[in-house]
Amino acid sequence: MSLSGVVDVLALYISTDRLPGLLAHTMEEFDQAQSHFEDAVSFSRNAGYRPERVWSLCDYADMLLDRKRATDQYMAKALFEESLSISTELDMGPLKERVESHKSALPV
């Protein structure tokens, strides 16, 4: 399978904004990652792609926790709460467990 074939397959399962967000997060390019995650959340919300929105919310929250700015923890908590609500409703067990684990590690 060619690279374009791989990208086509990935596009069916992952937002084309979330993927560069994950890469930027890995490279500690946090502001760039934030922009990509915000685009992914916005796109999936507008398109009604709830499973992709849940993953985007969770990955965005994880990035915020790694960035460690003063207000990032509060925003991450809100993102985790939205992600948990939707993942519970959609019965996305493994993601729900991941979100619960990360959320429980946050201070109250």
pLDDT for 70: 87
What pTM does this model have?
Answer: 0.85
Q: pLDDT band for position 32 (50/70/90)? A: very high
Report the alpha-carbon distance of residue 61 to residue 72 in Å, rounded.
8
**CATH number of domain containing 7:** 1.25.40.10
Taking only the tens place, the pLDDT of each residue in 51-105 is 999 999 999 999 999 999 989 999 999 999 999 999 999 999 999 999 999 988 8
40 neighbors 18 (Cβ within 8 angstroms): yes
- What range does the domain containing 54 cover? 3-104
Contacts of residue 71, Cβ cutoff 8 Å, sequence gap at least 6? none
